[in-house]
Amino acid sequence: MLKSLYKHRGYILENAWNDIRYRYAGTGLGAFWNIFNPLLEVAIYTFVFSQILALRSGGTRGTAYVLFLCAGLFPWLSFSDTILRGSNAFQENAGSLRRLPILPAVFVAKYSISSFINLLIYMALLFPLTVVMGISPHWTQLLVFPLSLMLQALAFGLTLIFANVRFLIPDTKEILGALMQIWRWLLPIIYTEEIIPEKYQTLFRIDPPYYFIQSFRMVFLDHKVPTVEVWLTMLGWIVLFGFLGSFVSKKLYSDVRDNL
């Protein structure tokens, strides 16, 4: 699979860029919706959790919460976007899959790269925002790039599994939509980890995106480098779901081709 992805890297990159440019084709703001939508979500959560529910959430008011939220929400939006859109890659590109001798995983990779680029744009917006809010630039913030790449590698492996299952079992679309909504609230993205009872906090450690999101906050806001254990944990999740995604793709390849 890796050989096929590398062989078609030009095709993947070109289509990923086109996906960003033309995703909102026909609208007034066009590609700017890629940025406006997450910023609107940040504004809503910031108002609700830092002003209305500040005492309940345990969060801090004002600018501190904005940065906390952005550093966790932006990676999650990129991660979930890859899964939700990438899981529909086979249906959307059925015509190309019928005509071209190309692995279906190539089309999943397109959405993964598209979300990766969007995430880099989101995080780039945080650089001037942190300076305005009193946090000096630091070299650890450059680790956002490898972290973004690793997060998308995790999303790619998971999406390969969902894409194959969704193509063969259409009801997976509705299940996956509900799952992503629940999954978001099971992670300390919008709220702080400290408000969760300590006996339940250990559950975060078995949630694949958890260490990635915490690492984004660590390098961007705290100017700290994640420990070797954290890097190895993230790499382990990537290898595990990369293997499972490749395994499922091989097992279901004939069934997917027969149903195109």
Averaged over successive runs of 10 residues, the pLDDT of the chain (260 residues) comes to 71 74 56 66 67 48 73 91 91 80 85 89 82 82 93 95 90 89 90 82 90 93 93 97 93 80
pLDDT, position 56: 43
The count of other CB atoms within 10 Å of the CB of residue 214 is: 20
Report the alpha-carbon distance of residue 54 to residue 36 in Å, rounded: 25
pLDDT, position 123: 85
Any idea what the Cα angle at residue 65 is, between residues 61 and 67, rounded to 5°?
145
pLDDT, position 156: 95
Report the alpha-carbon distance of residue 211 to residue 257 in Å, rounded: 36
CB neighbour burial string for 1-15, b if at least 16 within 10 angstroms, e if fewer: eeeeeeebeebbeeb
Residues in the chain: 260
pLDDT, position 97: 79
pTM: 0.84
The region that residue 207 occupies, defined by phi over 0 for left and psi between -120 and 50 for alpha, beta otherwise, is beta
Per the listing, tokens 């293997």 go with 243
Which of 236, 231, 15, 8 lies closest to 103, judged by CA? 8
Contacts of 207 (CB under 8 A, 6+ apart): 186, 187
pLDDT, position 60: 46
The CA-atom distances, in angstroms, between 211 and each of 75, 108, 258 are 11, 23, 39
